[in-house]
């Protein structure tokens, strides 16, 4: 089939022609009537129909007779700075593919036009309407968004690193670091199982995915491995930043303790002299001397100045 042709819902079954076309049914939050139509037209089991409306499944690839159910997760760092994840359910068989996207408030929808463009490029290059290339186009766009998440996390890591070594309050630094660590953990849970799905496809567990399409899936598997490598390196870097933040806090505490100790040592000598001459005894040196009071003040000032200079040279003040 050349180009794109719209098909009425009640004509999906008759439009399925694995040798000349692929039928793509894309929907968001299908209604009970939509599910009933899909079950009737594509002979989907009740288990698969229920899975299409369940947005809380893990990424997986499951076979049901002559068709397969694939659950994957689309991720994006939303404008509010939080990681958003959305499940995308795919059911495919010879000559057809159903995609169900579960919407979220802050996550941008998948670019259907981009998916179609990628598919059309491969269809023209390989002169085939195979559904394997449509599945590849979907995965390609999702993994591109994974890479965008990795880049955004890199930017947030740089921001945390800058705050660690400036005068930003420790509470703000730690809040940002732990928020980022939570997003990294959530992203890894959502994205990591995609690797197993891609490996299963490259092992030819989907019989209607041709060798030409498998080449592209192997490239996706390599890209997915790079995404996970980036995530692991980012987790290590974040751990290092948290340790560096603790070291900076410890160093600041040491500096404060040095200053407190220095001023305590400086003031204790003057306090000692004043305390001695404040004792209620009559036989103290220079007690009845005319310049005794001035001498005591000068002595305290000189000792204080000497101690101050000593601690200043040692960089304790």
Write the DSSP symbol of residue 137: H
* β pairing state of 67-77 and 60-64: antiparallel
What pLDDT was estimated at residue 146? 93
Share of the chain above pLDDT 70, in %: 96
Q: Are the beta carbons of 193 and 58 closer than 8 angstroms? A: yes
**CA–CA gap between residue 16 and residue 235 (Å, rounded):** 46
pTM for the model: 0.77
Contact 115, 141 (CB under 8 A): yes
Tokens 């894309």 -> residue: 26
CA separation for the pair 35, 118 (Å, rounded): 28
**Beta-sheet strand order (sheet of 67-77):** 23-28, 96-101, 83-93, 67-77, 60-64
Average pLDDT (160-181) is 77
For residue 154, pLDDT over 60 is answered with yes
Q: How far is CA 250 from CA 242, 246, 247, 257, in A?
A: 12, 6, 5, 10
Domain ranges of the chain: 9-249, 258-313
> pLDDT by residue (tens digit) across 188-197?
988 899 999 9
The confidence score (pLDDT) of residue 278 equals 76
Q: Which helix (H) or strand (E) covers residue 91, if one does?
A: strand 83-93
Binning pLDDT at 50, 70 and 90, where does residue 3 land? low
Residue 80 has pLDDT above 60, yes or no: no
The pLDDT value given to residue 81: 66
Mean pLDDT, the chain, as a whole number? 84
Residue 287 in this model has a pLDDT that exceeds 90 = no
pLDDT of residue 219: 94
Report residue 167's pLDDT band, with 50, 70 and 90 as the boundaries: low
pLDDT at 253: 85
Q: Are 245 and 170 in contact (CB under 8 A)?
A: yes
For residue 284, how far is the Cα from the chain centroid? 74
Give the pLDDT score at 33: 87
pLDDT above 70 (res 15): yes
What was the pLDDT predicted at 1? 43
Fold of 258-313: Methane Monooxygenase Hydroxylase; Chain G, domain 1 (1.20.58)
d(CA 52, CA 118): 25
Which DSSP string do the residues of 138-198 spell out, in sequence order?
HHHHHHHHHHHHHHHHHHHHHHHHHHHTSS--HHHHHHHHHHHHHHHHHHHHHHTHHHHHH
Mean pLDDT of 258-271: 88
Would you say 198 and 217 are in contact if contact means Cβ atoms under 8 Å apart? Answer: yes
Q: Give the residue among 261, 269, 258, 264 at the shortest CA–CA distance from 304.
A: 269
Q: Mean pLDDT over residues 279-306, rounded?
A: 80
Taking CA atoms, 249 is separated from 180, 243, 278, 314, in Å, by 20, 10, 42, 21
Does 258-313 match 9-249 at the fold level? yes
Task: Give the residues across from 245 on adjacent strands.
Answer: none
The CATH number of 9-249 is 1.20.58.340
**pLDDT digit string (tens) for 114-138?**
888 888 888 778 777 778 888 999 9
Tens of pLDDT, residue by residue over 209-248, are 888 889 999 999 999 999 999 999 999 988 888 888 888 7
Alpha-carbon distances of 32 from 28, 38, 39, 90, rounded to whole Å: 12, 10, 10, 18
The tokens for 131 are 């559904």
Q: Summarize the confidence of residues 60-82 as an average pLDDT.
A: 83
Residues sharing a CB contact under 8 Å with residue 193, sequence separation 6 or more, in sequence order = 58, 59, 60
Percent of the chain, pLDDT > 90?
17
**Residue 299: pLDDT over 60:** yes
What is the separation of C-alpha 166 from the centre of its chain, rounded to a whole number of angstroms?
24
Token representation of residue 256: 């404060």
Q: List pLDDT tens digits, range 62-71.
A: 888 888 999 9
55 close to 72: Cβ distance less than 8 angstroms: no
Residue 79, pLDDT > 80, answer no
């Amino acid at each position: 089939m050349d180009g794109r042709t719209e098909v009425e819902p009640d004509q999906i079954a008759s439009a399925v022609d694995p040798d000349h076309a692929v039928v793509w049914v894309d929907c968001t939050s299908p209604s009970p009537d939509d599910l009933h139509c899909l079950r009737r037209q594509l002979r989907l089991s009740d288990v698969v129909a229920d899975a299409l409306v369940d947005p809380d499944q893990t990424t997986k690839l499951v076979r049901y007779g002559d068709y397969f159910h694939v659950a994957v997760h689309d991720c994006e760092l939303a404008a509010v700075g939080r990681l958003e994840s959305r499940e995308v359910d795919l059911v495919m068989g010879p000559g057809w593919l159903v995609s169900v996207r579960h919407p979220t408030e802050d996550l941008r929808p998948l670019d259907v036009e981009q998916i179609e463009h990628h598919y059309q490029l491969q269809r023209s290059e390989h002169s085939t309407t195979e559904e394997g290339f449509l599945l590849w186009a979907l995965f390609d766009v999702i993994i591109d968004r994974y890479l965008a998440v990795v880049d955004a996390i890199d930017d947030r890591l740089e921001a945390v690193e800058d705050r660690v070594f400036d005068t930003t309050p420790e509470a703000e630094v730690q809040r940002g670091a732990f928020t980022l660590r939570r997003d990294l953990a959530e992203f890894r849970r959502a994205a990591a199982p995609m690797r197993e799905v891609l490996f299963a496809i490259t092992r030819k567990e989907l019989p209607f995915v041709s060798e030409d399409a498998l080449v592209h899936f192997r490239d996706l598997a390599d890209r997915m491995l790079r995404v996970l490598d980036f995530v692991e390196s980012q987790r290590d870097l974040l751990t290092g930043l948290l340790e560096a933040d603790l070291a900076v806090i410890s160093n600041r505490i040491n500096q404060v303790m040095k200053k407190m100790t220095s001023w305590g040592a400086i003031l204790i000598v003057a306090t000692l002299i004043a305390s001695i001459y404040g004792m209620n005894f009559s036989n103290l040196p220079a007690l009845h001397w005319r310049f005794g009071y001035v001498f005591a003040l000068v002595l305290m000032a000189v000792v204080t100045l000497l101690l101050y200079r000593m601690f200043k040279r040692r960089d304790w003040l």
